[in-house]
Structure 1
């Protein structure tokens, strides 16, 4: 009976050793920097760095656009004030009489012979 128990104990130890060996292999592959989660984490880290650089570049560009837009807005406000003054000064001019209407509003095509007669 003790011999059977010893055999089962040795078989259990060998099974546990085999299980630990397979588990360590899987864990090594899991943390591998090229294929496993380690590689995915490294790739995501590089992408985060690239994204942060892109965001910083976009912020610099946006600041430049805001400065340009504010300059253009200031110029437009100045031009609007000048136009308001010009329109206000036009109200002081006397009204002109409307131009007389043309005698015949229709276009009549004449032949060359008719032109020679006239």
Structure 2
């Protein structure tokens, strides 16, 4: 009976050893930097670095665009104020006789056509 227990104990130890060997090989392949999860983590880490640099550049560009847009808005508001003042000052001007259209006399039928032509011009 002891001999059977010893044989089963040795078989269990050999099975556990074989299982550990297989597990070690799988773990080595799993953490391989080129094909396994280690490679995927390295690639993702590089992508995160690239994305963070791109995000920083986009934020800087957006900040510059915002400043430029703010300056243009201020200029547009200044021009709008000036235009409002010009329009208001145009309403204050009196209507002059020179600005009013003059009615034209109809051409005389008995007049010389050359004279009428020169009078129209």
- Matched with 1:93 is 93
Q: What's the CA shift string for 1:48-73, capped at 9, x where partnerless?
A: 10011001111111121012111101
Mapped partners of 1:61, 1:89: distance in 2:
42
Using the size of structure 1 for normalisation, the TM-score is 0.76
When normalised by structure 2's length, the TM-score is 0.75
Q: Secondary structure at the match of 1:91?
A: helix
- What is residue 52 of structure 1 aligned with on the other side? 52
Residue number in structure 2 paired with 1:69: 69
Runs of 4 or more above 6 Å deviation: 96-100
Matched position secondary structure for 2:92:
coil
Task: Show structure 2 runs of 5+ residues with no match.
Answer: 104-121
Query: What residue is the counterpart of 2:36 in the other structure?
Result: 36
What SS does the corresponding residue of 1:32 show, helix, strand or coil? coil
Measure, in 1, the Cα distance between the counterparts of 2:101 and 2:20: 105
Question: If you compute each CA radius of gyration, which structure gives the higher value, 1 or 2?
Answer: 2
Quick check: 1:80 aligned with 2:80?
A: yes
| C-alpha distance 11-86 of structure 1, shift in aligned 2 (>3 A) | same
Report what 1:5 is aligned to: 5
